[in-house]
Structure 1
C-alpha cells in the first residue's frame, strides 16, 4: 500500500502572533511584525531592526525548570509541538512510543544561550581564558543542537527516529520532508516535524552586518522588509518556530482527523557555487521544483499558489523569479506568489516550517497571504506577488520553496486531501 503523509496538527510561535490562529490573523491582515530590536541594545549595529516574537514562556505553559534548562529556540519548539499535538486530537500515549518520530530543523541552534554563557564565562570579554566555574550545568546541551529535537521528543513521548536537520535557511522545509519520509517509509505512524530558531543576538546581527545582507532601514522598521519591491535593501531578521503533526493518510481518515494538507512532493538541490551568492538564472531551484512536481505526479498547471522564499535581497528575488519561470513556464505568470517574510521576517532555519504552516492554513482557508510593503514594481520581478492585501483564491495545490546559504535549494508541494 502506498503511504501518504498528511498534516493533522499545526503549532506556531511567530512574530505577530503566538499560536496558530494569531499567526494566521497576522498574515490575513497583512500586518507586519518588524520593529526596533528590544532583546538587546542594537545601537552599535548597521541593522537595528527585527521581527521579534512576543513570547512569555510562563504564559506559554513552561515550568521554571524547563525555562532554566532550555534555550529560547528549544522553548519555541516545545510550545509549538504541544499546540500541534493538541490540534491534531491525538493522544500520543495511545501510540507505541517507538512508532513516534521527531524531526526538528534549526540553522543556528542555541545561539542566545551560547552567547550569554560566553558573556558570563569571559566576564563580558575581559578574560581571554574562560572561567568554566561560572558556566551553567546546561551549557553542554546548548552546544549540541540536537538537544532541541531531544526536548521535543521527551515532551511528546517519542522513542522512534529523532533527528536534528541543519541545512541553513532550508532547515524547516527539509525537516518537514524528513518527517514525511518517516511516514511514507513506514518507520513511524506519527511524526512531529518542524523547525525553530531564536537568532536575535549581537553575534547574529554582527555576522549579517558584515555582509550587508540585512536592511538598514532603521527609521521605518514596519516597511523595511520589502520582498520583490524595487526599493528593497535586504532582509529583516526574525525568530520563531512551527511544528506539524504528520500521520499516514488512511489512519488519519479512520480516526476522523481534520486533514489540512497532504505532503505531495519534495526535492532539494545544491548550487555548488558560492557560500552566499546565487546564480541569476535560478537553475538549481527550478530543478528542485521540477523534481518535486514529478514526485507528486503533478504538472506546472496544477500549482495554484507559490509561497516564495522572498527574502527581500535583490539577488534572491531575481533568482526566484527566474526559477519559477524556468520550472513552470507560462504558469508562473498566472499563479499568485507571495512572501510572508514581509510580515514575520526571516527566522533562518525556522522560516521554512513556518511557511509550510502558512501554506497548509492557506489551503484550508482558500486565502493567499499577501506580500506586505510591495509598492514599487521591479521590472526584473514581474510576476503576481499579491501586493499588500490577502486574496481569496481557490487552490488545490501550493508550492513552497526555500533557499539557503551554502547553496541549498528546496521545494515542497502540498495539496488538499480528498476525503
Structure 2
C-alpha cells in the first residue's frame, strides 16, 4: 500500500436537476433529464436554445450578499460545492494546518457570465469600441483572471498551501482532480480540495457553439435533445455546474476513520496535436491515456467494471471513444457497462469531468450504474453496452472515466474501491 495514495473522503456537487450531492445522484440514476429551454437569458434567434441549467439560489445556500456581488456564478457554484465536500469529509478546517491544505480547481471558460455582462454595460450593448472604464465594477479584474476562481475556493476552505487553476478545455475537471491527487502523492499537502466549475450559459458561449454547429438544435423537445450514442443525435446540450472533492492520503484517512468513497489509482492525459476540434476516428490518443492510467493503477481491463464515457452526443466524439475503448480494453470492452450522464445534466465544459467523477465515486459506493438517457436507437458504429434508459444494479469495484476536449486533450482516470487496489 502506498501511504500517500490519494483517496476521496468528501464530495460536493452543484448540478442541473437539484441542489447537492444526493439530488444529483437521484437524478442521474433516475434516467430523467434536466435539459430545458434556456431561461438565464432570452435565447430567441439562436440556433440552439436548450441547456441544462442549475436551479441555484446562492443566498439560500449560504453565500452572503457581498460574496454574491463579488463572485461570478461559476465561483459561487464552486464555493458552495467545496463547502459541501468539506462538510461531507468530516474534517474540521479550524483544526488543520492551513499551510498543508491545497486547492486544485478546473475551469474551461472562467467568469464568462460576469465578463459578458460587464462588456455589455461598458460598451453600451456593443455601440462603442472604446469603452469608459469608469463604468466598470470594482471586481472586473477578478472576472478577467480565471485563477480568482481557485482563490475563492481557497478562501472558503482556509487553504494556504498549493493553489492552482487548471484550464485544459473540457478535460479541465478531470485534470484538476488528477493534479490534486499528485499534490497529495508528492507530500506537498495533507488535504486538497479538488474539482471544477463552469457557468457558460450566456449569449457569447451559445453563439460560439452555434457557429460551429456543435450543439443540438432540437429546440422543440429539450428533454430529449441530449442523445449520446443514439443514431439520431445532433450535437451536445450546454450545461453548467460544479463538483468538489476532499482528497487525503489513504493512511491519514484510515487513521481518522473517514468514510472513503474511492481511491484515485491511475491518471493520464494526452494530446493529439492534430486539430482544434477534430478527432481521429481510431481513438488512439484516448486509448493511450487509458492504457497509461491502467498501468499506473497496476490494473487491467478485467479490473474495470464500469466506464463513464465522455459521451457528448456529437457523432465524431461518440465514435472516437467507442474506438478508444476497443483499442485499449480489447474484447473486454464489450462486457463492461458504459454510460454518459451528459444525457441528463448536459455538457458543462470544464466542470463536467469533475461532476462525472462524483458520479463514478458514488457508483462504487452504491452499486448502481447510471443510464444513458434518450438512447432509443443505437448507432451501429457505437456497439458497446451503453446502458440505455434505465439504471443498472451491479457491484462495481473499479471505474474508468474519460474526458475529451477541444485542442486535442484526452484524459483518463481510474477510481477503485480500496479492497480492489493493488500495490
Q: Is the pair's TM-score, using the shorter chain for normalization, greater than 0.5?
A: yes
1:297-330 CA distance string (max 9 Å, x none) = 0011110000000000000000000000000001
CA distance in 2, matches of 1:137, 1:309: 38
TM-score of the superposed pair, with normalisation by structure 2: 0.98
Residue 93 of structure 1 deviates from its aligned partner by 1.6
**Superposition RMSD on alpha carbons, in Å?**
0.8
Corresponding residue for residue 304 of structure 2: 303
CA distance in 2, matches of 1:251, 1:37: 45
CA distance in 2, matches of 1:94, 1:375: 52
Corresponding residue for residue 372 of structure 1: 373
CA distance in 1, matches of 2:416, 2:39: 39
Is 1:393 aligned to residue 394 of structure 2? Answer: yes
CA distance in 1, matches of 2:279, 2:394: 31
Answer whether contact 2:195 2:245 (CA < 8 A) is retained: yes
Residue 2 of structure 1 deviates from its aligned partner by 4.2
CA distance in 2, matches of 1:407, 1:128: 34
CA distance in 2, matches of 1:154, 1:201: 27
1:399-419 CA distance string (max 9 Å, x none) = 000000000000000001139
1:180-205 CA distance string (max 9 Å, x none) = 01111111100000000000000001
Residue 225 of structure 1 deviates from its aligned partner by 0.1
Answer whether contact 2:401 2:414 (CA < 8 A) is retained: yes
1:317-369 CA distance string (max 9 Å, x none) = 00000000000001100000000000000000000000000000111001100
1:16-415 correspondence runs (5 A) = 16-415=17-416
1:82-134 CA distance string (max 9 Å, x none) = 00000000012211111000000000000000000000001111222111111
CA distance in 2, matches of 1:219, 1:154: 43
CA distance in 1, matches of 2:238, 2:245: 23
Residue 215 of structure 1 deviates from its aligned partner by 0.2
Q: Secondary structure at the match of 2:243?
A: strand
Q: Secondary structure at the match of 2:117?
A: helix
CA distance in 2, matches of 1:152, 1:97: 13
Q: Secondary structure at the match of 1:311?
A: coil
CA distance in 2, matches of 1:395, 1:132: 55
Q: Secondary structure at the match of 1:402?
A: strand
CA distance in 2, matches of 1:369, 1:67: 33
CA distance in 2, matches of 1:92, 1:317: 42
Q: Secondary structure at the match of 1:115?
A: helix
Residue 44 of structure 1 deviates from its aligned partner by 1.2
CA distance in 1, matches of 2:200, 2:306: 29
Structure 2: stretches of 5+ with no match in the other structure: none
CA distance in 2, matches of 1:366, 1:230: 29
TM-score of the superposed pair, with normalisation by structure 1: 0.99
Answer whether contact 2:373 2:389 (CA < 8 A) is retained: yes
Q: Secondary structure at the match of 1:418?
A: helix
Q: Secondary structure at the match of 1:170?
A: helix
Aligned residue pair count: 419
CA distance in 1, matches of 2:139, 2:378: 49
CA distance in 2, matches of 1:128, 1:320: 43
Answer whether contact 2:3 2:251 (CA < 8 A) is retained: no
CA distance in 1, matches of 2:25, 2:380: 30
CA distance in 2, matches of 1:127, 1:60: 38
Cα distance change, pair 2–252 in 1 and its aligned pair in 2 (3 A):
closer
